[in-house]
Amino acid sequence: MDSTLEYLEICKNNITILDPGAFQRFPKLIRLVLDDNSRLKFPFNGTQFLSQDSLIDLQCERCGIEKIYSQSLRYMPKLEIINLNANAIAEISPDAFLGNRDLKVIILSQNNLSSLSNELLVELSAVKVLNVSMNPLLEPEKKKPFLKSSVLEELWCDECGFSIIYYDTFAKLPNLTRLNLRRNEIVKITTPALLSHENLSILMLQNNQLSSINVILLNKLNKLCLDGNTIKLNCSLIASVEIETFYCSSSSGVGPECIVETTTVGSELGTLSSTAATVTTEITETTVISKMPVTIQALSQTSTVPSISLPVLVRKEFNAETITGISDAYISGYLLVICLVQIGVAFVLFVYLKLKKYDSNPEVNIYSENIINPNAIHTAIY
């Protein structure tokens, strides 16, 4: 017997049952891997699966576990990681992890879960990550918390049954920093939902059925992935958002285009409209916003998303035609007319005064009458 053994792997066998004390001869055993024992289940009578005080990491992927009873894991008090991916788990007792207060990572992906007790994590003061992805029937109840935990940081629920994110859905998970909801059927995130999560920085919403996203939520996040939705993001609003990227894993390598639209911020606190419209221009300038597709890299779940340039090019052009007022030509013409009128008036006044002066001197006027000019109406000019 090797009393110093810390890691033990018994994979791809036909184990159906384990004696609870089977590994107590290894008092320093830290990690136990039982993957690919498809007939191995937790005891149907609800008794303990294993009793191992030293165990920190338990792996049983692709086993045959159907239910986690209240006593199944009770006697592994130092357990920090449990991975039960790809089993057939349909039910988990609300106090299933009551004896595992040091748990940090719980992986329950690819099972048959349709519900979880929202009290499941309440007694776990160290839990950081819960992965319940690929449980397609798992959906939160309307206006009830999905889970309660003051310390949970990452929740993975890709390919679950989510359709609407209500205000209460994640309200009891105040310490969330990452929320993965890819490949669900989400059609709506209600306006106040997630806005109170001060620490939330990564939101993965690829391949849902969203047509709008909250503007305030955009400004809260460091990373937001929206590939595979029908959202049309307003170009000018994208330009004002300091965010790492919107499109993270488009299969074509090209993200959707932004659109030029008029957005009304109303009772929905600025929800983006999906209908394109013309940008209202001011009198003295025309704003031109071009459509440019974003080239991105396909990324794996664990890869780092690179920063990209936002798909917006804004250029302001001076447009003389939009300027209103009196032109120089118009003013010049107006002044010329005034001058001509003044000259004409002066000429008429001059002639009138001359004629009046001649009529006032009859002695001189009589000399204007002669053979050539017999009519007395003609006067001499002197």
**Comparing C-alpha atoms, which of 243, 251, 236 is closest to residue 307?**
243
**Rounded distance, CA 191 to CA 216, Å?**
9
Predicted TM-score (pTM) of the model is: 0.67
Q: Where are the beta strands (DSSP E) in the chain?
A: 7-9, 31-33, 57-59, 67-68, 81-83, 91-92, 105-107, 129-131, 154-156, 164-165, 178-180, 188-189, 202-204, 223-225, 254-255, 286-291, 294-295, 312-317
**Residue 203: what pLDDT?**
94
**Comparing C-alpha atoms, which of 117, 183, 112 is closest to residue 148?**
117
**Rounded distance, CA 352 to CA 364, Å?**
19
Indicate the SS3 state at residue 312. Answer: strand
**Rounded distance, CA 166 to CA 296, Å?**
31
Helix ranges (H only) for 3-136 are none
**Comparing C-alpha atoms, which of 204, 192, 83 is closest to residue 155?**
204
**Residue 126: what pLDDT?**
97
Instruction: Judge residue 316's burial from the number of C-beta atoms within 10 Å of its C-beta, 0-12 exposed, 13-18 middle, 19 or more buried.
Output: exposed
Compute how many other C-beta atoms are within 10 angstroms of the C-beta atom of residue 273.
16
Under 8 Å between Cβ of 148 and 124: no
**Residue 268: what pLDDT?**
38
Read off the amino acid at residue 190: T
Compute how many other C-beta atoms are within 10 angstroms of the C-beta atom of residue 381.
8
Q: Look up residue 306 and give its two tokens.
A: 């690179």
**Residue 311: what pLDDT?**
43
Domain ranges of the chain: 328-368
Q: What is the pLDDT along the chain (382 residues), one digit of tens a residue?
A: 578 899 999 999 999 999 999 999 999 999 999 999 999 999 999 999 999 999 999 999 999 999 999 999 999 999 999 999 999 999 999 999 999 999 999 999 999 999 999 999 999 999 999 999 999 999 988 889 999 999 999 999 999 999 999 999 999 999 999 999 999 999 999 888 888 888 999 999 999 999 888 877 777 888 888 888 888 776 666 666 656 567 776 544 444 456 654 444 343 333 433 333 333 333 233 333 333 333 333 333 433 434 434 444 344 444 444 444 555 666 777 788 888 888 888 888 877 776 665 555 555 455 444 544 555 555 544 4
